[in-house]
């Protein structure tokens, strides 16, 4: 340690005047003679443990931050080592890769020359390629040209793929992002019919990406870089488009890893727009994962926590996230409390949770009242409105209500429905809390709060049903909808995908009529047929993921009955196992939508990268 000289025991006033202090207590004579207020003599302890120089303080703070980052990310290094081993096992189980000549023959339709003229930065990637590039380079060019979205309107922008091209361009060959992008690109095409042989190639690239990420996480600077964070988000996308027994758990682990990185980066990342967009993408995925698994979200450094990025320029999307970010914690507390016995402590906890549900729903209602005018909908009459055919209700294209809702675009409709889903979950918690507190169902049903919550839940479910024709068929709803009518363009293809989460949640509510539940299940079956998803997958999603209205098929093909309600009936979330069923066939979904309707893969990929609950 450098010797800084004998410390002065004089008062600060004498030090400033550069005169000798007589060190008299409580005030020195120099200050008394000049009528100055003497600040007093320094404490002896302060003289022993003197303050560090500013430069030393900065160095120690920087070192301390690095140690914290290393501590937070150390577990990720081991995790990605395990992921790499699992990826190698997965790759060894798929069919071997055919000879190069055979790949060229089967894969020639996705070569750079067949892709047309890419726009923007993608063109640079294609121009640099040779006439006979490796298969992963062809797939990457195809991925950028067909799946990566340009930035959309500020109000509805979300997701992370818009950053893929600029960050890919600045990252080095063999970096985690390069390998991750190539793995995703090849895996998407490997899911198409006739190209299953590429699964081994995608698994090998995935393993290389995991190994590169494991190495990057050992460097405190690389571990928190934008490219490493985007690579991990790419891993979550890879697990979404591939199908394996471990995909669900791996997807959740990748999201948790991305959350650890943005937490280590702290609030400094808000100053850079690129880092800010990645933070918001991670937050979206984190909320989805937390709701699916009924887990609380971890704390984020900063006074405002996870909403610290929201400044004065608030949008409708940023306002909504303020309320959505509170929902996972509420859902986490709900089920164990409703299964517990009544004690003074649990009664107080359920009452507190009931008030919190009211508060969140109040915020969601205020959000609806403050959204821009273009986010609204117009109602048109349902000309086929009549008494429903009960036996064939699950085959009707339109819910037999008096109206249909038409929105400006399908992304706005999606965000509005996601807000309704959040309100539905709040309503179901209110209903179950009132049932639990009352103990007498007959008495509870006469409670004004119970009646209001059930009415609001029914209104929300009806509004989701009224939006289905627009999601499926677009704005042209003036003509009569014919049974079996197919989707016609990309926006309608995405609309059907966007409906899975709202229809799933709404159909599991016990309080809705059984006939409405059957109609929504019929729409899910129609989506599965039109979008290339197995109908059994959608049905399994309902049966395996439900925790609300438990229903079982009755006698006959069109008759269903509700089973006896469980002790905890209203609340439901889409479980991780259920979401994997929805995601595992995305490869076929892309190709089949394109075959049926000519849908652009750019718009279809937008649906895959957006999660419920955040705009």
Q: What is the pLDDT of residues 497-508, one digit of tens each?
A: 778 888 988 998
pLDDT at 491 over 50: no
Give backbone dihedrals phi and psi of 576, rounded to 5 degrees, phi first. Answer: -60, -40
The DSSP secondary-structure symbol of 52 reads P
Residue tagged 């929902």 (tokens):
327
Query: What is the rounded distance in angstroms from the CA atom of residue 594 to the CA atom of residue 125?
Result: 25
pLDDT at 198 over 70: yes
**Arithmetic mean of pLDDT, 184-212:** 85
pLDDT at 40 over 60: yes
- 46 and 107 together in one domain: no
Considering the chain, what percentage of its residues have pLDDT values greater than 90? 20
H-state helical runs in 325-447: 327-338, 344-370, 410-438, 441-444
Residue 603 belongs to a domain: no
- 34 and 161 together in one domain: no
Give backbone dihedrals phi and psi of 4, rounded to 5 degrees, phi first. Answer: -100, 10
- HSE-CB at 480 with a 13 A cutoff on CA atoms is 6
Query: What is the rounded distance in angstroms from the CA atom of residue 286 to the CA atom of residue 297?
Result: 7
Query: What is the rounded distance in angstroms from the CA atom of residue 509 to the CA atom of residue 481?
Result: 28
* Region class of 112: left (phi > 0), else alpha (psi between -120 and 50), else beta: alpha
**Arithmetic mean of pLDDT, 484-500:** 58
pLDDT value of position 464: 96
**Residue 420 domain boundaries:** 327-570
Query: What is the rounded distance in angstroms from the CA atom of residue 520 to the CA atom of residue 527?
Result: 11
Question: Which residues lie closer than 8 Å to 455 by C-beta, 6 or more apart?
Answer: none
Query: What is the rounded distance in angstroms from the CA atom of residue 221 to the CA atom of residue 257?
Result: 16
| pLDDT band with cut points at 50, 70 and 90 for residue 15 | confident
| pLDDT band with cut points at 50, 70 and 90 for residue 369 | confident
H-state helical runs in 445-584: 448-473, 490-498, 500-507, 514-530, 535-545, 576-583
Question: Which residues lie closer than 8 Å to 472 by C-beta, 6 or more apart?
Answer: 397, 487, 492, 495, 496, 499, 523, 526
- 148 and 288 together in one domain: yes
pLDDT value of position 153: 55
- 290 and 351 together in one domain: no
**Arithmetic mean of pLDDT, 446-457:** 94
**Arithmetic mean of pLDDT, 257-278:** 90
Query: What is the rounded distance in angstroms from the CA atom of residue 486 to the CA atom of residue 490?
Result: 12
Residue 358 belongs to a domain: yes
C-alpha distances in Å from residue 226, one per residue of 72, 173, 496: 17, 16, 33
C-alpha distances in Å from residue 432, one per residue of 359, 428, 569: 16, 6, 7
Residue 233 belongs to a domain: yes
- 285 and 346 together in one domain: no
Residue 320 belongs to a domain: no
Residue 321 belongs to a domain: no
Number of residues that this document lists for the chain: 615
Residue 103 belongs to a domain: yes
Question: Which residues lie closer than 8 Å to 358 by C-beta, 6 or more apart?
Answer: 426, 430
Closest CA to 107 of 192, 45, 182, 165: 192
The DSSP secondary-structure symbol of 420 reads H
The DSSP secondary-structure symbol of 392 reads G
- 210 and 356 together in one domain: no
- 21 and 136 together in one domain: no
pLDDT at 125 over 60: no
Residue 394 belongs to a domain: yes
Domain count, the chain: 3
- 40 and 123 together in one domain: no
Q: Burial-class residue 529 by CB neighbours within 10 Å (0-12, 13-18, 19+).
A: middle
Query: For residue 330, how many other CB atoms are within 10 A of its CB?
Result: 18
- 421 and 542 together in one domain: yes
- 282 and 392 together in one domain: no
pLDDT at 359 over 50: yes
- 32 and 83 together in one domain: no
Residue 3 belongs to a domain: no
- Letter string b/e over residues 289-327, b meaning 16 or more CB atoms within 10 A of that residue's CB: bbbbebbebeebeeeeebbbbbeeeebbbbbbbbbbbbb
Q: What is the pLDDT of residues 310-334, one digit of tens each?
A: 765 566 666 778 888 888 888 888 8
Angle of CA points 119, 277, 366, to nearest 5°: 115
pLDDT at 461 over 90: yes
| pLDDT band with cut points at 50, 70 and 90 for residue 164 | confident
| pLDDT band with cut points at 50, 70 and 90 for residue 233 | very high
Q: How far apart are the first and last CA of the chain?
A: 54
Q: What is the mean pLDDT of the chain?
A: 71
Identify the CATH number of the domain in which residue 40 sits: 4.10.240
- 544 and 422 together in one domain: yes
**Arithmetic mean of pLDDT, 440-446:** 86
| pLDDT band with cut points at 50, 70 and 90 for residue 137 | confident
């Amino acid at each position: 340690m450098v010797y800084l000289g004998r410390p002065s025991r004089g008062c600060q006033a004498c030090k400033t005047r550069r005169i000798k202090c007589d060190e008299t207590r409580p005030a020195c004579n120099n200050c008394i003679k000049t009528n100055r207020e003497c600040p007093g003599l320094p404490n002896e302890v302060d003289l022993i443990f003197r303050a560090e120089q500013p430069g030393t303080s900065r160095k120690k703070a920087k070192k301390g931050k690095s140690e914290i980052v290393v501590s937070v990310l150390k577990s990720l290094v081991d995790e990605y080592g395990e992921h790499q081993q699992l990826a190698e096992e997965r790759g060894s189980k798929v069919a071997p890769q055919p000879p190069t000549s055979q790949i060229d023959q089967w894969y020639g339709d996705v070569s750079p020359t067949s892709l047309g003229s890419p726009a923007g930065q993608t063109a640079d990637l294609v121009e640099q390629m040779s006439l006979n590039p490796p298969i992963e380079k062809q797939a990457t060019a195809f991925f950028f040209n067909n799946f990566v979205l340009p930035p959309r309107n500020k109000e509805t922008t979300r997701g992370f793929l818009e950053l893929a091209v600029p960050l890919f361009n600045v990252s080095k060959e063999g970096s985690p992002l390069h390998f991750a992008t190539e793995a995703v690109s090849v895996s998407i095409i490997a899911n198409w019919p006739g190209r299953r042989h590429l699964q081994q190639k995608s698994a090998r690239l995935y393993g290389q990406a995991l190994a590169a990420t494991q190495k990057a996480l050992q460097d405190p600077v690389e571990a928190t870089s934008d490219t490493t964070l985007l690579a991990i988000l790419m891993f979550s996308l890879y697990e979404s488009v591939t199908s394996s027994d471990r995909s669900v758990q791996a997807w959740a682990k990748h999201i948790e890893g991305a959350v650890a990185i943005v937490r280590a980066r702290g609030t400094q990342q808000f100053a850079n727009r690129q880092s800010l967009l990645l933070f918001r993408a991670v937050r979206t995925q984190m909320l989805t994962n937390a709701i699916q698994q009924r887990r609380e979200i971890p704390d984020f450094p900063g006074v405002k926590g996870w909403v610290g990025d929201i400044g004065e320029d608030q949008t409708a999307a940023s306002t909504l996230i303020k309320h959505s970010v509170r929902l996972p914690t509420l859902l986490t507390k709900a089920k164990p409390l409703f299964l517990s016995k009544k004690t003074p402590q649990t009664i107080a906890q359920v009452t507190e949770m009931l008030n919190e549900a009211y508060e969140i729903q109040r915020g969601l209602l205020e959000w609806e009242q403050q959204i821009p005018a273009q986010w609204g909908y117009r109602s048109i009459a349902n000309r086929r409105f009549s008494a429903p055919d009960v036996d064939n209700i699950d085959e009707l294209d339109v819910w037999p209500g008096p109206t249909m809702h038409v929105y400006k675009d399908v992304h706005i409709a999606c965000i509005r429905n996601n807000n309704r889903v959040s309100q539905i979950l709040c309503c179901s918690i209110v209903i179950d809390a009132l049932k639990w507190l009352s103990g007498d169902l007959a008495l509870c049903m006469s409670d004004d709060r119970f009646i209001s919550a059930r009415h609001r839940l029914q209104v929300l479910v009806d509004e989701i049903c009224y939006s289905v024709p627009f999601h499926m068929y677009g704005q042209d709803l003036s003509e009569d909808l014919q049974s079996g009518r197919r989707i016609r363009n990309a926006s309608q293809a995405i609309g059907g995908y966007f409906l899975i989460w709202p229809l799933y949640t709404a159909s599991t509510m016990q309080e809705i009529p059984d006939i409405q539940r059957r109609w929504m299940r019929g729409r899910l079956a129609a989506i599965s047929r039109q979008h290339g998803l197995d109908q059994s997958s959608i049905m399994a999603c309902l049966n395996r993921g439900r925790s609300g209205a438990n229903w079982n098929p009755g006698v006959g093909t069109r008759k269903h009955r509700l089973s006896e309600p469980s002790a905890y009936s209203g609340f439901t979330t889409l479980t991780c196992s259920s979401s994997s069923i929805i995601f595992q066939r995305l490869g076929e979904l892309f190709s089949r939508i394109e075959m049926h309707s000519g849908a652009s893969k750019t718009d279809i990929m937008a649906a895959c990268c957006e999660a419920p609950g955040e705009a």
